[in-house]
A and B are shown apart, each in its own frame.
Chain A
Amino acid sequence: MRTPIAYFLMLSGVLFALGTVGVLIRRNALLIFMSVELQLNAVNLALVAFGRLHGSLEGQVLAFFSMVVAAAEVVVGLAIIVSVYRRRQSVNVDDARELRW
């Protein structure tokens, strides 16, 4: 293992920033959701890299839990997107604005 840990953390940061920009500029709810997944994965990479740096398995355990929670989140989120689509035939987030004043 000769690659500096900071390289992994940099990659993780770049991917997280890409995911953030995706959440901000995309209008399709599905694509926003995919960007959130990208952010989650970037954070998982950072967790595993820090765990490697400190020589402990805790980072991997935490990443594992984060994957489980992400799976549950995807199931519920996609179900919400499908039910919103049934109601208004659109997945554009600008169309869902009942709660806006």
Chain B
Amino acid sequence: MPLDNVVFWVFAPIAVASGVGLLVMRNAVHAALFLVVNFFCLAVMYLLLDAPFLFSVQIIVYAGAIMVLFLFVIMLLGVDRTEVRGERLFGQRWLAVGLGVGFVIELFVALRAGVGFGTRAPGGFDAVNEGGNTQALAKVLFSRYFFPFEVTSILLLVAAIAAMVLAQRKARAVTQAEAEEAAAARATAEPGVPA
């Protein structure tokens, strides 16, 4: 068995198992940790597919930044809050699982018809990755895809501003009476300090 086959068959079951773990965990933190495992397995798959740049980006951006953001929000909103059980729609859960299984079967049939289970990738990807995957990717990104690249920078800027606008607490207007009251309270609490 060639080495990349071994790596695939080690990490693919872990990826699927951690995906199932994400589905069945009641605690949001546990689900997030399963998702980190899943992202890491996908990063290994990128390595197998000759994409070492995406491997590192996957780990840094997804397993690092995005999951930390998720965990941060979970902690902010309270971890002890478990999900409500019980279904609002009758049989929704089993219907969803059935549809998922059907989707996978359909996909396998389509794959067999389209790509074929035995098709191996052609050799010679080293020619595409000439001078290193990162350099080759940069060459394509900064020539043919330069405009979309710049547009995504605007998108990130807009997203950052939107997050600040959405998450800020609206300051309540303070009436003059309240301001005077607060000043008086401060003066009595700390005598000698001018309010």
- Bound complex: CA of A49 vs CA of B12, how far in Å? 14
Whether A6 contacts B49 in the complex (CB less than 8 A), given A19-B19, A64-B141, A75-B160, comes out as: no
Asked whether, in the complex, the Cβ of B119 is within 8 Å of the Cβ of A82, the reply is: no
* CB < 8 Å neighbour of B57 from A26, A64, A91, A94: A64
A residues 40-98 near B (Cβ < 8 Å) are 41, 44-45, 48-49, 51-53, 55-58, 60-61, 63-65, 67-76, 78-83, 85-86, 91-92, 94
Asked whether, in the complex, the Cβ of A78 is within 8 Å of the Cβ of B70, the reply is: yes
* CB < 8 Å neighbour of A38 from B8, B22, B117: B22
- Bound complex: CA of A68 vs CA of B11, how far in Å? 25
* CB < 8 Å neighbour of A21 from B23, B66, B166: B23
SS of A interface (majority):
helix
Name the interface size band of chain B. Answer: 35 or more
| A residues in contact with B163, CB < 8 Å | 75-76, 78-79
SS of B interface (majority):
helix
Q: Please name the residue on chain B nearest to A33 by beta carbon.
A: B70
Whether A79 contacts B162 in the complex (CB less than 8 A), given A14-B16, A17-B103, A67-B61, comes out as: yes
| B residues in contact with A3, CB < 8 Å | 2, 4-5, 8, 48, 120
Whether A30 contacts B38 in the complex (CB less than 8 A), given A6-B116, A20-B100, A83-B166, comes out as: no
Q: Please name the residue on chain A nearest to B38 by beta carbon.
A: A38
Q: Please name the residue on chain A nearest to B66 by beta carbon.
A: A74
Question: B183 at interface (Cβ–Cβ under 8 A)?
Answer: no
- Bound complex: CA of A80 vs CA of B92, how far in Å? 26
